[in-house]
Amino acid sequence: MDQKRKIRVLVAKPGLDGHDRGARIIARTYRDAGFEVVYSGLHQTPEEVVQAAIQEDVDMIGLSSLAGAHMYLFPRVVELLKEKGADDIVVCGGGIFPEEDIPKLKEAGIKEIFTPGTPLREVVKWVEENVKPRSS
């Protein structure tokens, strides 16, 4: 009856960072916005994140990092998506990052970076404006 596609998002925490409160709040926020959110849990390697994203056929990956390894982990996810021919999946990141890293992350293919204090409404709005559910 209803043929409207739903936005599917993977929320993942790559690396050895165990602080998932932010990721959980984001997952909950996305759910309340009507998205289907796959949560893959803590301590994921970039390979695992990408494999999960492909199996789940998500439109976007939201990476969370508070432990400082984002300069390796985030670009690696983008790289692996490219290798697998799945670079139509949008990647964005949230967490605590030194100011000077943000342009570098964007250059590496992370579409947007959200830092502490970003209103949840804006995070949802960004997804609605920038992530389209796959059309074919």
Partner 1 sequence: MGIAERVTSGDIRAVARLIRDIDDKVPGAREVLKDLYPSTGRAYVVGITGAPGVGKSTLVDQMLTHLRKAGKTVGVLAVDPTSPFSGGAILGDRVRMQRHSMDEGVFIRSMATRGYFGGLTQSTRSAIDVLDAMGKDYVIVETVGVGQDEIDIVQSAHTTLIVLVPGMGDDIQALKAGILEVGDIFVVNKADREGADRTVNDLRLMVEMDEKRYKNAWKPPILTAQAVFDKGVQEILDEIEKHRTYLTSSPERGSTLQYEKVKHDLTEMIRDQIINKVLADIVNSGEFEEALQSIMKRELDPYTACDTIVLQKLKSGTK
State which of residues 21, 85, 117, 129 lies at the interface with partner 1 (CB under 8 A).
Answer: 85
DSSP one-letter code for 91: E
Looking at this protein, which amino acid is placed at residue 123? Answer: V
Decide if 26 contacts 94 (C-beta within 8 A).
Answer: yes
Helix or strand (DSSP H, E) at 57: none
Minimum distance from residue 120 beta carbon to partner 1 (Å): 13
Determine, following the binding rule CB under 8 A, whether residue 64 of this chain makes contact with partner 1.
Answer: no
Q: Which two tokens stand for residue 69?
A: 């390894």
Q: At residue 37, what are phi and psi to the nearest 5 degrees?
A: -110, 120
Choices 24-32, 67-75, 90-98, 112-120; region in contact with partner 1 by CB under 8 A: 24-32
Determine, following the binding rule CB under 8 A, whether residue 38 of this chain makes contact with partner 1.
Answer: yes
Site for partner 1, rule CB under 8 A: 1-6, 8, 27-28, 30-41, 44, 47-48, 51-52, 54-57, 84-86, 133-134
